Chain A
Amino acid sequence: MKKMMKLFAASALSLALMLSLFACAEAPEEKKAEAPATQSEATTEASGEASPDASGEAAPAEEKTVKVGFVYVSPVGDAGYSYAHDLGRKAVEALDFVTTSYVESVPEGADSERVIRNMARKDFDIIFTTSFGYMDPTIKVAKEFPGVRFMHCSGFKKSENVNNYFGRIYQARYLTGLVAGAMTKSNRLGYVAAFPIPEVIRGINAFTLGVRQSNPEAEVRVVWTKTWYDPALEKDAAKSLLDAGCDVIAQHQDSPAPQEAAQEAGAYSVGYNSDMSSFAPRAHLTSAMWNWAPMYVKTVEQVRDGSWQGDQALWWSMQDGVVDIAPMGPMVPEDVKAQVLAKRDELMSGVDTVFAGPIKNQQGEIAVPEGTSMTDGEMLGMTWFVEGVVGSAE
C-alpha cells in the first residue's frame, strides 16, 4: 500500500514536471507578444501628452491605430538577422498611429503557421513574416484571413493579400568583397554559409565578384553549416577555413562567432546583418548590413492611408536605404576605401552592374555573356557558383 502511494506520488510529480515545462515553453512567447504592445500604449500616451496642441487630431489617430506584427526566426538580441528586422520594428513603433508586437525564435514550418494564425486572429492589420521558411505557412494563413495584409521576407510566392519583399543585400556583399579582396594576403578567403539556397548562393557570388574585381588571383572557399544560428558550429566552421589558409572570413550566419574566430587567429573578418565591429574590433573590415526602417515605415504608412497593394514582389535596393555597408575599419587603406565608396555612390544612384556580364561559372564557361545582365528572375533562382568560388553549391 505504501508502495502504491509512493508510485502515485512519483507519477504525479513527474506529471507536474512535464506540465511546468510546457508552461515554460509557452511563457516566453506570450509574454513577448504582450510586452511590446503595452510598451507601445505607453509611448502613444506619452506622445499625446507631449503635444497637447495636437490633441484635436489625437482622437481620430487613435481610431486609425495600425496593429503590426512581426515573426522572427532567431532571438532578437543576437546582433544578427532578427536584430536587424527588430530595428525596423522599433522605427515603426515610433510612429504615433502604430502598435507593434513580435514573436521571436519561431521555428520554420508547422510551428510558424500556428504563430502566424494566432496573430491574424488577434486583428493585426499587417504581419511581417521575416524568414524564408515562413513562405508556405504565410500563404496558407493569408487565404484564411483575407482581411489581414501579409509581408513575407525573402520568398517568391505572393497572393491577393501577400507581398513578398527582400533587399538587394548582394549589392552590399559586392562592396564587402571589394574590401576583402584588397586585404587578403594568402589570396584565399573563407565564407561560412548557412544553407545552399539562392539567397545565400547569390550573396557568395556577389562577394566573390567583388573580391576578384580587387584581386583576380583570389579564391573564396565555402563551408556550409546547414543552420542559420549555432555559434559553436559557426565558430568551428570559421576555424576550419582559417586552418585551410584563409585570412579573411565572411559569413552568411546570424551569430558573431565567425568574427570571434577570425580575430583569435589574427585574420580579418566581414560581418553580416548589422555592424559587427564591436565583437572583433581588430579583425572587422566591414559588414553587409540591413536597414529595414525606411521601407517598413513606408509600408505601414501605406496601410494607414489605404494605398497598400497585395500581390507584389518587392526587391528594395541600396537606393531605397534597405542595404548598406558598415563603416570600414582603420586597417583598410584610404585608396581602397575611396574605391569602395565610389562604387557605393554608383549603386546609390541606381546603377547596378554587380551581375553584369561577362561572368563565368565555376567550370570556367561563360554564364552571363558580355553586354547582358542577369534578370531579377535569374538572380532569384541562382543555384550555381561563379568562377573563383571553391566548394559545392549543393
Chain B
Amino acid sequence: MLMWEFIIPLMAAAVQSGTPILYATLGEMMTEKGGVLNLGVEGIMAVAALAAFVTSFATGSPWLAFLAGGTAGLAFASLHAFVCITCLGNQVVSGLALTILGLGVSTFLGVPYVGLAAPGFDPFAFPLLSSIPVLGDIFFRQDMLVYISFVIPFFFWFFFRRTSLGLHVAATGEMPAAAAAAGLKPVALRYFAVLTGGFLIGLGGAYLSLAYTHLWTNGLSGGRGWIAVALVIFAFWRPGRAVIGAYLFGGVMAFQLRLQAMGTHIPSSLLLMLPYLLTILVLILSAWRGRRIDAPAALGTNIEPEA
C-alpha cells in the first residue's frame, strides 16, 4: 500500500524533477571538462526556457522549441566563451554576470508571454518498457524529453572515453599547454566545450517551460542552475554520478511535498530545509573525501597566450 501510494509516485516524481537538473549538470560538466567554469547556468536556463516557450507558442512545434532552447543556451554561453577564452576575463565574474543578465533579460523579454499556454511534451507510457513492474512505472511513464535525457549520459561517457575529440577536450581541461605542444588547438577545443555545454544547459531550461509546466513565468529556473553547479562537484565530473545526484535532488524536493500530502504534522518549514541541507552535506562530503583531485587540473584558469 505504502509502496504504490507513496514510494513509486515519489520515485517517478524524482525522475521528472531531476531531469532539468540532469541536463544542466551534464552541460556544466561538459564545460568544466574543457577547463572553463561557467557559473551562468541559472541565467542560461532562464533564457533558454523563454526561447523554447516563445518558439513553441509561435510555431506550435515542441520539437523545434526544444532545439531553440538548446540553441539559445549555446548563443548565451558563447558570450561567456568570448569573455573568458578570447578576452581572458575572469571566469567567476563573467559567469555571475551571465546569471544576473540572463534572469534580467528573460524577465524583461518574457513579460508579454506570462500566463499564456503553449504546446509541449506530455507523459506517455513507453511501449513495452513501461510494463516492467516497478521500474516501468518509475522511468517509462514520463515525457519524451525524459527518455532523451536517459541516453545523454551514455553519449557523454562514450565521447570522453572513446573518441579522440573527447580526449582532446579533456586534455585542454587538464593541461592546455601540453595539449598545444601536442599540436591541438586548445582555444578552439575550449570554445567547443563551452558551446556544447551551453546547448545542454539550454535543453534543461527548455524542459522547464515545455514539459515541467507548459507555461512561461519569470523565475522558472528557481535555483536549479545553482544546484547543477554543486552537483558537478558531487558527481566528481562523471556522468553516471550526475544521474544519481540529479535524481537524488529531484527526489528530496518531491519528498517534502509528498510528506505533507500524506497528512503528517511536521512543520513545513522544517521539511523545506531538506534540499538545502542536502546541498551542504554533499559539499562537505565531497571535500572530506578529498576528491577535488578529480577536477580538471586547469579548471578556472585561462589559457594565456605566450607573450
Contacts and interface: CB of A to CB of B under 8 A. Distances in A.
Interface of A: 1-3, 6-7, 9-11, 13-14, 17-18, 20-21, 24-25, 27-28, 75-80, 83, 105, 190, 196, 221-226, 229-233, 235-237, 239-241, 243-246, 255-257, 260, 264, 279, 390-392, 394
Contact of A232 (B112, B115, B220, B272): B220
A183 B104 CA distance: 43
B100 A21 contact: yes
Interface stretch (B63-71, B151-159, B256-264): B256-264
Given A24-B108, A243-B9, 4 more contacts: A14-B97, A232-B220, A236-B254, A264-B122
Interface of B: 5-6, 9-10, 13, 17, 79, 83, 87-90, 93-94, 97-98, 100-101, 104-105, 107-108, 111-117, 122, 208, 212-215, 217-220, 222, 253-254, 257-258, 260-269, 272, 304-305, 307
Contacts of B214: 260
A79 B94 CA distance: 36
B101 A17 contact: yes
Nearest to B43: A21
A222 B271 CA distance: 14
Contact of B89 (A14, A221, A233): A14
Contacts of B265: 391-392
Interface centre among A13, A221, A255 (most CB of B within 10 A): A13
Contact of B263 (A14, A221, A394): A221
A78 B114 contact: yes
B114 A75 contact: yes
A111 B300 CA distance: 34
B13 A240 contact: yes
A11 B254 contact: no
A13 B89 contact: yes
A30 B307 CA distance: 47
A235 B213 CA distance: 7
B103 to A, nearest CB: 9
A110 B214 CA distance: 32
Contact of B83 (A10, A78, A222): A10
Contacts of B17: 232, 236
Contacts of A24: 101, 104-105, 108
Given A79-B115, A223-B257, A392-B265, A245 B5 contact: yes
Contact of A230 (B10, B83, B105, B222): B222
A237 B257 contact: yes
A394 to B, nearest CB: 4
Contacts of B258: 240, 243-244
Contact of B261 (A83, A231, A240): A240
Nearest to B269: A394
Nearest to B112: A77
A231 B213 contact: yes
A232 B257 CA distance: 12
B94 A232 contact: no
A233 B222 contact: yes
A231 B220 contact: yes
Contacts of A28: 107-108, 111
A230 B222 CA distance: 8
B307 A226 contact: no
A105 B115 contact: no
Contact of A27 (B6, B97, B108, B222): B108
B261 A244 contact: yes
A28 B17 CA distance: 31
Given A233-B222, A239-B13, A241-B261, A2 B254 contact: no
Contacts of B112: 77
